[in-house]
Amino acid sequence: MRNKKTWIVIYFISLIIIGSLGYYTIGGSDWTLLDSLYMTIITLASVGYGEVHVLDNYGKIWSILLIIFGVTGIGALFRTINEEFIQSKRFWKKKMKKTISKLRNHHIICGYGRMGAVIAKELKEKNQNFLIIENNEKKVEEIIDKGMLCLQGDATSDDTLLSANIDKASGVAVVLDTDQDNLFVTMTIKTKYPDIFLLSRCAKEDNQSKLIRAGANKVINPYISGGHRMAEILIKPQVEDSISVISPKNSKMNLTIDEISLYGVDKYDGVTIKESGIRDKFGVSVVGIMDDKGKSTINPSSDELLSSNQTIILIGNVERMDKFKEQLP
C-alpha cells in the first residue's frame, strides 16, 4: 500500500513537470516557466481560471491530454485511499477480536438501542469490561468510534456467542428493540448456557412472566421501574437528594453507591437486613431493594427480608464496598 502511494506521488510530480515543459515548448517565447507551471496546475485542478495565454490547437490538445491523465491519477488516488480505509477497518476489527478473545468476567450487551447505549455508557464510566453484540452496521461503527468493544452479528448465533466468550462472561443484558426478539435471544442463550446470569428488558408487563419462564434471571420493564422510582421520589424526595449527594461523582466524601445482585448468594437468602450483618461487618448500608419484577423499596427497614431474586442498593466507603464485593461468590 505504501509503495502504491509513493508511485501515485511520483506520477503527479512527473505529470506536473512534463505538463509544464509541454506548455513551455508549445507556447514559444510568450510562455515563461512560471506561466507553464501555473497553466499545468490549473488544468489538472480544473479550477477554470482561464488560459494564461491564448492556446493554439496544439496547446488545446496538450490540455486535453493533461486532463485525461490527471483524472486517471485522481481516480487511482481515491481508490488507494478507499483501499487503505478498508484495510484500516479490517485491522481494527482484527485487533478488536483479539482483545475480545482475552476477556474474562465481562458483561455482554445484546443490542445497542436506547437502553443498550445507556447500559454501555454506565459500564464504561465504571471501568467495567464489556462488549456489545449488534447486527446493524451503522450502529457497529458508532460503537467502535466511541471506543467500545463490539461484535457484529446475530446474538442467537453460536459463532457470535462463542466469539463473545460467553462461557467466561459474568452476565448478559438482552435489550433488543422488541419483546419477541428479547424472548428468542433469552431462550437461545439460556438453552446453551443455563448457568449464566441473564438480565432481559421487556416493554409490556404481560411479557415479564414469559421472559422469566424462558430463563431470564431478572426482567426489567423500564416504564414500571421508572414509574416506581418517580413515585418514590415524589413521596420521599429527601432520599433522592441524599443519594445524589453521595453519588460516585462526589469524590470528596470517598463514598460510593452500588447495586449488588443477590442471585446465587445463599447466605443472604431469607434473612433480614439486620441479621445479614452487612452494616456491622462491612460498614455499608442497604438503602434500597429491587426485586426481579422491577418493584423497588427505598430506605427499607432493618427487618426487611432479603432474597436471592433481589438487587440491593448499598452506600458506603469505597474501600469497604470493595471488601463487601470480595466476599461474594
- Tens of pLDDT, residue by residue over 128-175, are 999 999 999 899 989 988 989 999 999 888 889 999 999 999 999 999
Task: Kindly give the residue spans of alpha helices, DSSP state H, lying in 193-308.
Answer: 208-213, 222-235, 237-245, 273-276, 278-282
Instruction: For residues 84 and 81, give the distance between their C-alpha atoms in angstroms, rounded to a whole number.
Output: 5
Over residues 61-102, the pLDDT tens digits come to 888 888 888 888 778 778 877 776 666 666 666 777 788 888
State residue 41's pLDDT score: 83
| Residue 73 CB neighbours (<10 A) | 17
Q: What's 103-220's CATH class? A: alpha beta
- At 141 the pLDDT is 86
pLDDT of res. 166: 93
CATH code of the domain made up of 224-326: 3.30.70.1450
- In the chain, which segments carry CATH 3.30.70.1450? 224-326
Provide the pLDDT confidence category of residue 225 given band limits of 50, 70 and 90.
confident
Alpha-carbon distances, residue 309 vs 198, 260, 267, 312, 324 (angstroms): 12, 11, 13, 10, 19
Choose the weakest-confidence range: 21-25, 27-31, 201-205, 311-315: 27-31
| SS3 assignment, position 255 | strand
State the Cα–Cα distance between residues 49 and 22, nearest whole angstrom. Answer: 19
In the chain, count of helices (H) and strands (E)? 13, 10
Of 310, 207, 312, 296, nearest to 259 by C-alpha is: 312
Residues 6+ apart with CB under 8 A from 215: 186, 187, 189, 190, 191, 194, 198
Predicted confidence (pLDDT) at residue 310 exceeds the cutoff of 80: yes
pLDDT score for 58? 83
Q: Residue 270's pLDDT is what?
A: 93
What average pLDDT is seen over the chain?
84
Burial of 179 (0-12, 13-18, 19+ CB in 10 A): buried
Cα-based distances in Å from 205 to 12, 181, 201, 229: 66, 16, 10, 17
C-alpha cell at 251: 469524590
% of the chain surpassing 90 pLDDT? 35
- Please enumerate in sequence order all residues whose Cβ is within 8 A of that of 30, keeping only pairs 6 or more positions apart, or say none: 53
pLDDT of residue 1: 54
* Residue type for position 92: W
Higher pLDDT, 90 or 306: 306
Say whether pLDDT at 182 is over 50: yes
Q: Which helix (H) or strand (E) holds 166?
A: none
Q: What percent of the chain has pLDDT over 70?
A: 86
Distance CA 321, CA 305 (A): 21
User: Which comes out higher in pLDDT, residue 246 or 294?
Assistant: 294
Q: Residue 15's pLDDT band (boundaries 50, 70, 90)?
A: confident
> What is the model's pLDDT at position 245?
45
Answer yes or no: are the C-beta atoms of 255 and 246 closer than 8 Å: yes
pLDDT per residue as tens digits for the range 238-292: 555 545 544 444 444 466 788 899 988 999 999 999 999 999 999 999 988 988 8
CATH code: domain 2-98 is: 1.10.287.70
- How many Å apart are CA 45 and CA 15, to the nearest integer? 12
Residues 226-247: what's their mean pLDDT?
59
Least confident of 55-59, 200-204, 280-284: 55-59
Average pLDDT over residues 26-53: 79
pLDDT at 221: 87
CATH 1.10.287.70 region(s) of the chain? 2-98
pLDDT for 28 beyond 90: no
pLDDT at 144: 87
How is residue 32 written as a grid cell? 515563461
In the chain, CATH 3.40.50.720 covers 103-220
CB crowding 94-127: b at 16 or more within 10 Å, else e? eebeeebeebeebbbbbbbeebbbebbeebeeee
